[in-house]
Amino acid sequence: MKYLIGLLIVFFSIFSCKKNNQKEINQSSEKLPTESKNHVVFKKEKAEDLSKNPMIAQKINWDGIYWLYPYNIDSEKQGNYYINISKDNNEFGFSGDIQFNYKINCKSTDNKLYIFDNNQSATDPLAVIYKEKDKYYIKSDLIKMERTDLKETKNGYPIRWAKSSDDVPDSPQ
Please state, in angstroms and rounded to a whole number, the distance separating the CA atoms of residues 116 and 103. Answer: 8
| 172 in any annotated domain | no
pLDDT digits (tens, 9 = 90+) for 27-80: 544 445 554 455 555 454 454 443 343 434 456 789 999 999 887 666 667 778
Q: pLDDT-based confidence at 106, cuts 50/70/90?
A: very high
Other Cβ atoms within 10 Å of 92 Cβ, number = 25
- The mean pLDDT of 139-149, rounded to a whole number, is 88
Residues 163, 85 within the same domain: yes
Check residue 128 and give its pLDDT.
96
Determine the structural domain holding residue 28 and report its residue range: 2-45
Residues 79, 129 within the same domain: yes
| 120 in any annotated domain | yes
Report for 51-65, 85-99, 119-133: range of highest mean pLDDT = 119-133
Residues 22, 89 within the same domain: no
Q: pLDDT-based confidence at 105, cuts 50/70/90?
A: very high
114: left (phi > 0), else alpha (psi -120 to 50), else beta?
beta
Residues 69, 30 within the same domain: no
Residues 74, 38 within the same domain: no
Q: What is the pTM of this model?
A: 0.61
Residues 90, 27 within the same domain: no
| 90 in any annotated domain | yes
| 118 in any annotated domain | yes
Residues 37, 9 within the same domain: yes
- Nearest 5°: CA angle at 60, between 51 and 91? 130
Please state, in angstroms and rounded to a whole number, the distance separating the CA atoms of residues 35 and 28. Answer: 15
Residues 7, 73 within the same domain: no
Please state, in angstroms and rounded to a whole number, the distance separating the CA atoms of residues 93 and 8. Answer: 71
| 94 in any annotated domain | yes
Residues 72, 151 within the same domain: yes
> How many domains, in total, are found in the chain?
2
| 119 in any annotated domain | yes
